[in-house]
Structure 1
């Protein structure tokens, strides 16, 4: 069976069951089935054909889910295109994937799509019935289901195609371990362009469960999100460790939650078990069960699983990622492709049911990463993850980190070369190095050091470089900190020394004086203290300059501490700017 056939079976069994909850709106399985059928028909009427790659231009929500199912029912491939992406990024994805048609949410502006020459279909429109009935092609589990774009070391994102059967195999294996069923309530917390959302959406729909859409503003407000989990009786929660760390902190400030959580799945980045101590001391390790999953977009979301126990807080060394999920194989190989013995570090090579086809239209890169190796006398196709691990005597894998320059920021795997190439394309930038820097409490930020042309005026150049990056890169690839250096630091071998740059203090960080009273200047001083940089444009959305959700949480906490307010961050629904934040402070103080 294909993914949409499995959904159709659930819809036929329980048409009145709620499939998607979005704020105060609840959509049944029958509603979702009908909405996706409209998308299928409209694609046919618009001249699209089965097998096409179809853009899905929508943020998380019912329209995205209906569009996704409608595209699959049509026998096509959905390509998530987050509306917050810069126009240049949208155009690249459209050209690279050969997209001619795009399904959009009803309330999303489509100017960028029209400029890219795409034919637009609104997910909620009834469409033209004169085209006649559409006969879907026979479902093929080996057909592509979606293409997600990830960061690319060549300077452009790369498409990762995944088949129906790979997603189905992931859930068949995981369901046997964790008992997913129709009583489960899942959250969609993550962006549609992040493959963690694949796990969240299909985890609900394949088993007849309910998907709760988490508003974008609420993902930046751990307190509000924690209340949502209790109010919606969520049972399965997926989080990056960085995000869960903030949820733990918010939970500790409130009475113990009357939650229904039975499973919390971590993924996207290395898990430091120590951050779980307050949660485990409060709730224990039985309900909910905490599971660390290691995975990669190229191998269909998750690869391994490891249950966290309270005893791990004192006994665990490193970051255990456990054992492969059913149907998945993990080999630790040396540089010659031979398996390393227990206790010896090696590169993580993934085989089995989750390994994708390669990179869309990039045969050379595919050949580099998707390799054939003779393992234990058998020729197998493996994905070279670039990660390293060691196997313990009891068979468990301990994650050790990267063997290359790839970075991880809030669950996103980032090729720093992509950001560096973008920075260096600005005429005033002579050289650039990009790295990640931990500002404490899991607040890892993307940082850049720049060598500018002699004629460049520093402040003007930094402002223009920021605009240049914002027009070309998505939020998670924009450096939060951007500083000017005289020259790049090099290793003895003459390569750029990222570790040395990361260890160095940011040069030229301005001293921003504390401003008495309230007002925009006072809020700006608080923001500058958290970011360690001054943001001169008070109307600029902080996320447009690469501020992460965790950095934003720290800003809100610092503002509350400074002004005695009780803001959550959800008050800033549209623009998260200093001026808007100051207005929220004034409004709150006026009420108290």
Structure 2
């Protein structure tokens, strides 16, 4: 892998993100910077639009270490918004428009934003804050507007963004990242990747997920082109694969769960027309959750390991997206046990500690701690938690560094080479998102009929991890579950919604008095097995589909108008469900079939239409 000219000549650790961007924009003014399927902005156009927004934000009081909310749908306006916030000297706080109102309001209140960048389509979602419309600014450069008196520009130690992650106390916590943390991510990884102006990146992930930082700035700091993937395409592996081909994407970043869907779409594309199925990928970068290397076999059998190169990167929001990297080779696919995560990025150090805070030797499992230039400022408004998790420590050589306690367990498998084994606490990783079960349990516990509750992650098959809630109650199950779903939908993002609710009389415990998760998972297995028996011979299309949905979702009592995602479905389980339906009826339905609604009624109509077409 050869370092690119952009990495070595243009990126400067002593500058902010937007100052580095401005240097790239001056170098490639007419190159396309960002597209979203509707709009294309060159570097010069993006720079000019962001500067107009910055002037409006400075006039509204934005400046150094101030936080400005960003509530904009995926598209070029989102990129204009975050760049404009940085140019104004402030740090951006991404708030996904898909969040429930309670979650949006909490994040904006916690970060004391005062000002929120929104679009005409999302402004109505923001309450109690001053709104600046990213798509409502006057045309033209606006002249040399005077900088407001007292305004403070950003420097490398200033806040760049605050991303909120799930919190064990029942509330999300904001992680504060500075410009220097983010810029050095790309200078430190330049020798590994050699990104340049010829690369095309996808912005696949929500701006509220820190993987987006790598995607967005990876393109914009190297003169590349960023392709923003809309929500519907991101949920449809076939459509996403077509986008990768059409846009000639070279750098793809995926959670392992999302990539499994894409592998199947790649197989389908080659089966349909090998001549048009070719991809232009140079890299596939994995992150966000544990990678099962064996699951890559269907991809590597077709593409090998060099075109594209497959890179596994372990990382944490608190250490600026990525900590380690590993280029995947054929030998890795045969391995079992801990998931190898490779070596630390050049300017980071990793240590494995025991419960007493002592470094462990090779082969002994402990908690992963990280030190170096990527370690965050800390948690917003949580000085005690910051002091607990970010600790200065002097090593055997007498060097004092600030270390972050990740809460992840790992092991050093060879000198300088590490593997991930799991979480030290109850935190879960579900489809790339960090989820604290305690935050979900806190919402469910507010219901007066819930005496106790536990939330765990369970595998619904085919590597599909989902959340399952076990409320302890004597209430009628159907009514209670409906009310709990409503409570979760009103308070938490969709990725934190349990896929199944299994009420209990009491929580099972082991002989040692600990929660017996084995019994909980067995109860789920029985529930799924019961659902799989629900399809009877001669049943209507609707009833057959209902039985399939019950088996896939682990729930019953499904009405024709109930939406799949409202019932706890995920993008992964949607693909799996359609695969089962296609096998059962001998059809070729895809996600696009459900464009008008993912419910039994719409799917039954699609099944009947395709059955009628195939019988002619």
TM-score bracket, normalised by the shorter chain, equals over 0.9
2:230 to 215, 224, 227: 215
C-alpha distance in 2, partners of 1:508/1:275? 27
User: Which of 468, 474, 487 lines up with 2:493 in the alignment?
Assistant: 474
**Counterpart pick for 1:286 among 306, 309, 317:** 306
- Taking a change above 3 Å as real, the CA distance of residues 590 and 499 of structure 1, as seen in their structure-2 partners, is same
Please name the residue that 2:158 is paired with: 143
Whole-angstrom distance in 2 between the partners of 1:220 and 1:61: 16
Q: 1:266 to 1:210 in 2, by over 3 A?
A: same
The match for 1:383 is 404
Which residue of structure 1 lines up, in the alignment, with residue 370 of structure 2? 350
Equivalent residue number for residue 23 of structure 1 = 37
Change (3 A) 1:84 1:580: farther
Match of 1:260 among 280, 293, 306: 280
Stretch deviating more after TM superposition (564-573 or 173-182): 564-573
- Equivalent residue number for residue 92 of structure 1: 106
Which residue pairs with 1:188 in the alignment? 203
**1:567: which partner in 2?**
589
Match of 2:4 in 1: none
Tell me how far 1:569 sits from its aligned partner. 0.9
Q: Does the alignment pair 1:530 with 2:552?
A: yes
Tell me, yes or no, if structure 1 residue 112 matches structure 2 residue 125. Answer: yes
Q: Kindly provide the CA deviation profile for residues 436-477 of structure 1, in whole angstroms up to 9, marking residues without a partner as x.
A: 01122221111111111x3x2221111111111111111111
TM-score normalised per structure 1: 0.94
Which digits, 9 at most, give the CA deviation of each residue in 1:102-130, with x for residues without a partner? 1113333x33313xx11112211125979
Q: How does 1:326-345 map to 2 (within 5 A)?
A: 326-345=346-365
Residues matched between the structures, number: 587
Tell me which residue corresponds to 2:565. 543
Match of 1:496 in 2: 515
Q: Is 2:216 the partner of 1:201?
A: yes
Partner of 1:14: 28
Structure 1 stretch 404-413 or stretch 370-379: which is displaced more? 370-379
Q: Which residue of 2 aligns with 1:462?
A: 481
CA-to-aligned-CA distance 1:468-513 (integer Å, 9 cap, x gap)? 1111111111100111111112244534344542354356566433
In the alignment, which residue of structure 2 is the partner of 1:235? 250
Q: Which stretch shifts more, 138-147 or 392-401?
A: 392-401
The separation in 1 between residues aligned to 2:67 and 2:606, in whole angstroms, is 43
Cα 1:590–1:12 shift into 2, 3 Å: farther
CA shift, 1:318, in A, is 2.7
Secondary structure of residue in 1 paired with 2:419: strand
Per-residue Cα deviation, 1:260-317 (whole angstroms, up to 9, x for no partner)? 1011100111111100111111111111100110000111000000110112222565
Aligned pairs for 1:378-457 within 5 A: 378-452=399-473, 454=474, 456-457=475-476
Partner of 1:133: 146
Secondary structure of residue in 1 paired with 2:195:
coil
Is the 2:188–2:347 Cα contact (8 Å) retained in structure 1?
yes
Aligned match of 1:314: 334
Whether the aligned pair in 1 keeps the contact of 2:282 and 2:309 (CA below 8 Å) is yes
Give the conservation status (yes or no) of the 8 Å contact 1:330–1:351. Answer: yes
Equivalent residues of 1:291, 1:307 under 8 A apart: yes
Secondary structure of 1:484's counterpart equals: coil
Q: For residue 589 of structure 2, give the secondary structure of its aligned residue in structure 1.
A: coil
Aligned counterpart, 1:249:
264
In the alignment, the residues of structure 2 paired with residue 406 and residue 146 of structure 1 have an alpha-carbon distance, to the nearest angstrom, of 23
For residue 362 of structure 2, give the secondary structure of its aligned residue in structure 1: coil
Once the two structures are superposed, what CA deviation does each residue of 1:522-573 show, in whole Å capped at 9, x if it has no partner? Answer: 4333222211212534334332343221111112222222334333213444
Q: Which residue of 1 aligns with 2:132?
A: 121
- Give the deviation of 1:43 after TM superposition: 1.7
Secondary structure of 2:591's aligned partner: coil
Matched, 1:364 2:384: yes
Assess if the C-alpha contact under 8 Å between 2:90 and 2:154 holds in 1: no
- Match of 1:335, SS state, is coil
Partners of 2:612 and 2:50 in 1: CA distance:
47
**Preserved CA contact (<8 Å) 1:185 1:211:** yes
Point out the more displaced range, 427-436 or 525-534: 525-534
User: 1: CA distance between counterparts of 2:539 and 2:244?
Assistant: 37
User: For 2:541 and 2:56, how far apart are their aligned partners in 1?
Assistant: 51
Which secondary structure does the structure 2 equivalent of 1:539 belong to? coil
In 2, distance between residues paired with 1:277 and 1:481?
A: 31
Normalised TM-score (structure 2): 0.90
Gaps of 5+ in 1: none
Q: RMSD of the TM alignment (CA)? A: 2.2
The answer (yes or no) to whether the contact 2:252–2:281 under 8 Å persists in 1 is yes
